[in-house]
Amino acid sequence: MIDLLDYQVDPSQIYQAMTPDQYCQDKAAKSGSSFYYSFLFLPPDQRRAIISLYAFCREVDDVVDETKEHEIARIKLAWWREEIQRVFDGEARHKVGMALQETIKAFDLPQEHFIEVIDGMEMDLDYNAYPTFKELSLYCHRVASVVGLMSAEIFGYEDRNTLKYAHALGMAFQLTNILRDVHEDSVRGRLYIPLDELERFGVTTEELLENRTTDNIKALFKFQAERANDYYQQAFALLPDCDRHPQRSGLIMATIYRAILDEIENDGYRVLEHRTSLTPLRKLWLAWRTFRKEKRRYKAYLKSVAAA
């Protein structure tokens, strides 16, 4: 049995003083993630639940990103596997686990989804590059699409096609992240663009460490952006009208992430030269605008249903 005292995520007095919900809120707010802006437009019970899920994802992701020794990282991930079992047994020890206990009770999230997220994070310890998109898609499924499926459960839906939408949207988000962070990941010794695609476009792994954008690199990155856009289109086509309003947070996330993708394209795919990002004010404006748009669309939908 792994002793939490040996691998405590945050043993400080601040950690001890926080309630589980406060800890998750603090974790989500400090991350600076675009996802956080979509949480602001949810009812309190859903907002608390999605923030606890997001905090869990941040915790296990931080294990891999912040632990230099792979064996120590594996031990910490093994501890989180045990913690998820304790969560479902009602015996959580970590603040995030305690918060997740309430989320699981309220929204009946499956245990295997949490384990699959951890499996995805552990892939970062097993792979520093992916031969083809087939292998990469498994990673994207585990670290993003599975989270999308759990998020869809929290947001609520009537039509099961909404789960297909959530899966495709998770893929789109992860592919956007991969393109945005390609230089940063390369410096850390990780490559998420499939090796066979680098070869197809005549790009070497060494070139991804340089701060310049050749024609070959631009063509490679354009291909990656088009794949991400294809997944966004798939997701939107799969989302039934009856579930657009409940899933509005996902649509807010999509608006922000597609804006990042648009910025990358408009900038000539120069992601090796600088990191593309949106200001907090712009993210908030995009979130508010999408929320208003979906609210109007939902009212029109209700009228059409009533008139039918």
pLDDT digits (tens, 9 = 90+) for 76-90: 999 999 999 999 999
Could you give the CA distance from residue 220 to residue 65 in angstroms, rounded to a whole number?
A: 26
Could you give the CA distance from residue 155 to residue 249 in angstroms, rounded to a whole number?
A: 8
Give the CATH fold of the 127-308 domain: Farnesyl Diphosphate Synthase (1.10.600)
User: What confidence tens digit (pLDDT) does each residue in 246-261 have?
Assistant: 999 999 999 999 999 9
Answer yes or no: CATH 3.30.360.10 is held by domain 10-126: no
| Whole-number pLDDT of residue 11 | 52
User: What confidence tens digit (pLDDT) does each residue in 117-147 have?
Assistant: 999 999 999 999 999 999 999 999 999 999 9
Whether the per-residue pLDDT at 226 is higher than 50: the answer is: yes
Mean pLDDT confidence for 14-35: 81
- Each domain of the chain, given as residue ranges in start order, spans 10-126, 127-308
How many percent of the chain have pLDDT more than 70?
94
| Whole-number pLDDT of residue 5 | 45
Mean pLDDT of the chain: 92
Res. 4 pLDDT band, cuts 50 70 90 = very low
Give the predicted TM-score (pTM) of the model: 0.90
User: What confidence tens digit (pLDDT) does each residue in 194-224 have?
Assistant: 999 999 999 999 999 999 999 999 999 999 9
| Whole-number pLDDT of residue 259 | 97
Could you give the CA distance from residue 278 to residue 255 in angstroms, rounded to a whole number?
A: 12
DSSP state of 12: S
How many percent of the chain have pLDDT more than 90?
83
**CA atoms lying within 13 Å on the CB side of residue 127:** 18
Mean pLDDT confidence for 226-230: 98
Same fold, 10-126 and 127-308: yes
Exposed/middle/buried for 35, CB within 10 Å: 0-12, 13-18, 19+? buried
Cβ–Cβ < 8 Å for 72, 112: no
Could you give the CA distance from residue 139 to residue 263 in angstroms, rounded to a whole number?
A: 25
Could you give the CA distance from residue 150 to residue 173 in angstroms, rounded to a whole number?
A: 15
| Whole-number pLDDT of residue 38 | 86
Mean pLDDT confidence for 79-105: 96
| Whole-number pLDDT of residue 100 | 97
Cβ–Cβ < 8 Å for 100, 56: yes
Res. 63 pLDDT band, cuts 50 70 90 = very high
Whether the per-residue pLDDT at 8 is higher than 90: the answer is: no
Positive or negative torsion for Cα 21, 105, 64, 175: negative
